[in-house]
Chains A and B, each alone.
Chain A
Amino acid sequence: MSIWEYANPKKFITTTTPIVPWVLGLSIALLVVGLTWGFFFTPDDFRQGSTVKIIYLHVPAALMAINAWFVMLIASLIWLVRRHHVSALAARAAAPVGIVMTLIALITGAIWGQPMWGTWWAWDPRLTSFLILFLFYLGYMALWEAIEDSDTAADLTSVLCIVGSVFAVLSRYAVNFWNQGLHQGTTVPVATGERSISDIFFVPLVMCMVGFGLLFLALVLMRTATEIRARRIKALEARMRG
């Protein structure tokens, strides 16, 4: 059995449809537990006070905003190399979810920044690259809508996705590259494992990160199946007209 079998739209839908409610349910359960735990049962930070509770939304959303773009990048490369329609539609399906994650990261970041930095916004490398990533998401979605022929749209959006990946990388590593600005470095560096956060905050944070990840997965699977069906409707209507 090969992974490319799932590039068959019918196989994709029959495989993912029964899974989606479970993944969605699990993600909602994890988010409810993680956010409730973080909000009600973790102490205030000695410097940041209760604003530390924003971490349970800000960090997972920012993580998923960047990862969503990388998922779109992989799907776009698969489209460009192997011409599987499901991968192009998966990239399209991931964009609205990614933009919501980016928006949450930007909004919660601004709300957190105001009392801690004394400003809602600063042209800091990480914040700026995140804003550009948000604009790339908008451009990506607009390009899909603007082009009638879906294969041409998939080609052009794939190229845009490759270009935008520069800003997805910058969003994650801008602090390391420039070593300046208001934003702190990574709280949970996966490479070194030396996290600068106590277990009291870390456990609910991981729960929220997994919850956001599973929510993204469930929504992308559901939206990809919807895109496949919408494409089939277009094809059937064209056939009936002709």
Chain B
Amino acid sequence: MNLDFWSSFKDFIYAIYPPFWDAVVAFLGKYAVEVLSAYFASIILLVVIVVMSIRRSRRVRAQLTAVEARKDKS
């Protein structure tokens, strides 16, 4: 089952752009999919937490400015 999963995953990547996959295999050898998956998953998670933190920070800051302006008016 494990082998089936990785094989289909490799087929999927190969189908997107074969020369890329050939170059990756030449560089990383038989564990190319494992290494690439680990990097891909980790970088995605890191980018998500950074982007979410920045977006929430900006949103809350804007909300606070709006609430303080409302308070000053009233």
Contact = CB atoms under 8 A, between A and B. Distances in A.
Interface of A: 24, 31, 35, 39, 44, 49-51, 53-54, 57-58, 61, 96-97, 100, 103-104, 107-108, 111-112, 114-115, 120, 215, 219, 222-223, 225-226, 229-230, 232-233, 236-237, 239-240
Nearest to A40: B27
A222 B28 CA distance: 37
A226 B57 contact: yes
B67 A107 contact: no
B8 interface: no
5 contacts: A54-B38, A54-B39, A108-B41, A108-B42, A222-B53
Classify chain B's interface size.
20 to 34
Interface of B: 2, 27-32, 34-35, 37-39, 41-42, 45-46, 48-50, 52-54, 56-57, 60-61, 63-64, 67-68, 70-71, 74
A237 B56 CA distance: 19
Given A104-B45, A114-B2, A54 B71 contact: no
B31 A51 contact: yes
A241 to B, nearest CB: 11
Contact of A114 (B28, B34, B61, B70): B34
Given A97-B49, A100-B46, A39 B39 contact: yes
Contact of B39 (A57, A219, A226): A57
Contacts of B56: 223, 226
Candidate in A24, A35, A50, A236 with the most chain B CB atoms within 10 angstroms? A50
Contacts of A44: 29
A104 B60 contact: no
Contacts of A226: 53, 56-57, 60-61
Given A107-B38, A236-B67, 9 more contacts: A24-B50, A39-B39, A50-B32, A57-B39, A58-B38, A100-B49, A107-B45, A111-B38, A240-B70
Contact of B35 (A54, A223, A233): A54
A229 B65 CA distance: 10
Contact of B60 (A31, A108, A233, A240): A233
A103 B43 CA distance: 12
